[in-house]
Amino acid sequence: MNEPHSIAVIVAHPDDDAYGCAGSIALHEHDPGFRFVLVLATDGAAGQISAGVPATPETLGAYRRVESANAWRAHGTIPVRHEWLGYDDGRLPQVGFEELVRRVLDILLTERPQVVATFGPDGITGHRDHIMIGRATDEAFERARHTPGPGLRRLVHGALRTSTFERWNVARRRAGLPGWDPTMEYHLRPVPDDQIDIEVDTSTVSSRIVAGLLEHRSQRDVLIDPSSTVRRWERVVSREPAVMVWPPRGAGQPLLHDLFEGL
């Protein structure tokens, strides 16, 4: 008997989870026994506050916790477990690595999801918290998979294709905006196209991804160019590329088109 599909998304901040695999989650929500676990290392209390949002630096963390819940409600798939690790935003590198690994490991051994999704070493934006939670999750997965039991079949890193990155930078410069500089923290960092192992077509659920993203109102100014339309935003999230870390894939293997393909 095949295992029910299940996924644990382990990221640093509210809204990190709102793209990258939100479409894949929507595509599988009606699978028999499907289970979605969300783990957030911080509440994003050090984030920006967009104009008109009734939050202050003192209340932003609590505000973003509500945004996170609202986002998944708007998306339409509510996590069966929504875990907050409670660390300070921007300070994950100051947390003991072993402590962070143990926190994630406990969840993986309890839940034993088939797929674990997190950040790669680029953090997508080079954010220090992204990189740290990705490192800790990779190590926790490596330890957990050696404990006999179900699940823990695949570890993936969310990614941005280099070809997409270059296309976006051309468009930004044409619009008079500075291009993304992958040597700088908070700027997008691409992965070479030939290192992408999975790319999911999420165009049929892109409106749901955007509905979730729109609930992160406090961060709207950093999530997307304010001049963008909802229609353009839906096009941006219509593909979800990822690197498959475990099991490693040989060179020249065909691209997978689903996070659970082959499981």
Quote the pLDDT of residue 225. 67
Half-sphere exposure of 89 (CA within 13 A, CB side): 16
- Cis preceding linkage at 247, omega within 30: yes
Residues 6+ apart with CB under 8 A from 102: 140
Region 174-184: mean pLDDT is 91
With beta carbons less than 8 A apart as the criterion, state whether 125 and 189 touch: yes
- Give the pLDDT confidence of 215-231 residue by residue, as tens digits: 999 998 888 766 678 88
With beta carbons less than 8 A apart as the criterion, state whether 159 and 243 touch: yes
Q: Does pLDDT of 64 surpass 90?
A: yes
The helix (H) or strand (E) run that includes residue 39 is strand 35-42
* Closest among 147, 181, 146 to 166, alpha carbons compared: 181
- Give the pLDDT confidence of 136-176 residue by residue, as tens digits: 999 999 999 999 999 999 999 999 999 999 999 998 899 88
Quote the pLDDT of residue 183. 92
Region 196-204: mean pLDDT is 97
Strands 81-87 and 198-201: unpaired
- How many angstroms from the chain centroid is the CA of residue 7? 12
Quote the pLDDT of residue 11. 98
Q: Does pLDDT of 1 surpass 60?
A: no
Q: What Å distances lie between residue 253 and 116, 121, 145, 196, 249, CA to CA?
A: 21, 22, 23, 11, 7
Region 125-135: mean pLDDT is 97
Q: What Å distances lie between residue 13 and 40, 87, 107, 204, CA to CA?
A: 6, 10, 17, 26
* Closest among 84, 82, 80, 72 to 213, alpha carbons compared: 72
Region 49-64: mean pLDDT is 96
Quote the pLDDT of residue 71. 97
Mean pLDDT rounded to a whole number for the chain: 95
C-alpha–C-alpha distance, residues 219 and 203, integer Å: 24
For the domain made up of 6-160+189-246, give the CATH fold.
Rossmann fold (3.40.50)
- Give the pLDDT confidence of 83-117 residue by residue, as tens digits: 999 999 999 999 999 999 999 999 999 999 999 99
Q: Does pLDDT of 7 surpass 90?
A: yes
Q: What Å distances lie between residue 91 and 65, 86, 95, 151, 153, CA to CA?
A: 18, 11, 7, 31, 30
C-alpha–C-alpha distance, residues 43 and 211, integer Å: 20
